[in-house]
Amino acid sequence: MGSSSQSPNLDDTTTIPTTVKAYLTPSYWDERFTKEEQYEWFKDYSRFRHLIQPHLTPHSSLLELGCGNSQMCEELHRDGAINITCIDLSTVAVERMQKRLLSQGLKG
């Protein structure tokens, strides 16, 4: 694979890159999030909610690093977190997340 500014080599039929290095390139994520609506890389929030929920207060300030297209921020919001910041290196992920949250009446 070439430098990180080049488009990673995506398999046409899946979103799995042909090399692990592709995960380091914003263009891989942009391309992936253009095609993919929603995906949870870890477990969905319900699987570890019991670990987080007891620590949430209306004053909690949460930072979700590399939010992608996960639904975790909506789940955290449903559990009472108000101040959640989602960031991602993919502009596609950020734009889509903003749009999704706005459509639910949340500030994107």
The site for ligand SAM (CB under 6 A) is made up of 29, 39-42, 65-68, 70, 87-90, 93
The nearest distance, CB 4 to ligand SAM, in angstroms, is: 11
CB atoms under 10 Å from CB of 18, counted, come to: 11
| DSSP β-bridge partners for residue 86 | 64
The nearest distance, CB 65 to ligand SAM, in angstroms, is: 6
Task: CB nearer to ligand SAM: give 22 or 93.
Answer: 93
Q: Distance between CA 26 and CA 75 in Å, rounded?
A: 26
The nearest distance, CB 60 to ligand SAM, in angstroms, is: 18
Task: CB nearer to ligand SAM: give 31 or 58.
Answer: 31
- Please identify the residue of the shown chain whose CB is closest to the bound ligand SAM: 66
Q: Would you say 100 and 72 are in contact if contact means Cβ atoms under 8 Å apart?
A: no
CB atoms under 10 Å from CB of 6, counted, come to: 10
